[in-house]
Amino acid sequence: MKTIQGTVYVVRDDIDTDQIIPAQYLNLVPTIPEEYAKLGSYALCGLPNGYPPFVKSGALTADYPIIIAGRNFGCGSSREHAPVCLGAAGVKAVVAESYARIFFRNCVSTGELYPFETPIRLCDVFKTGDKAEIDVEGAHLTNCTTGKTYSIKELGAVAPVVEAGGIFAYARKSGIIK
């Protein structure tokens, strides 16, 4: 059984890519290993004041492998730096009510993290710091702090791409490229 466990970080609606990774850090190139790591240190640093820091000052990674979000997570720019910086910071999954199209697509294509959707407004019932466990195959999420379990949606049409490990692996498997 594939599971993702850890502490959650909760954000609300319309978290755009400028809040996930502000544009001044787009001079970093995700395919250069040390710049990939550096991108992780800036993950979610554009959130308005009032949110606790996602990555502690001086650290490269966050203590939160799971992000819980409201509607339209990842809206705005097509910058792949957004899912990349979250993946580099150690995020394994986002569970949101909905996603912006390009961010969702970039999660799937890169294989950086699982973009799970849920019909339930989890950002109202989870608090940053709660412990959680995602059962990937069983498609549910448990708040280990409260003991409550919630269903998440199956990945649907993109599942074969996610299972293959991204767009390149999927295309090789299906003979589109060598």
* DSSP string of 136-174, one letter each residue: TTTTEEEETTTTEEEE----GGGHHHHHHTSHHHHHHHT
Reading the block at residue 124, the tokens are 């109202």
Q: Single out the residue of 101, 148, 153, 173 in contact with another protein (rule: CB under 8 A).
A: 101
Stretch that binds another protein, among 42-50, 87-95, 130-138, 144-152 (CB under 8 A): 42-50
Angle at 135 between CA 79 and CA 83, to 5 degrees: 5
Q: Is 72 in the site for another protein (CB under 8 A)?
A: yes
Report whether 114 contacts 93 (CB < 8 A).
yes
CA-CA distance, 10 to 122, in Å (whole number)? Answer: 9
Binding of residue 142 to another protein (CB under 8 A): no
The residue range among 55-63, 93-101, 115-123, 130-138 that interacts with another protein, by the rule CB under 8 A, is 93-101
Residues that bind another protein (CB under 8 A): 14, 16, 18-19, 22-24, 26-32, 46-49, 71-72, 75-81, 83, 98, 100-102, 105-106, 109-110, 157, 161, 166-168, 170-171, 176-177
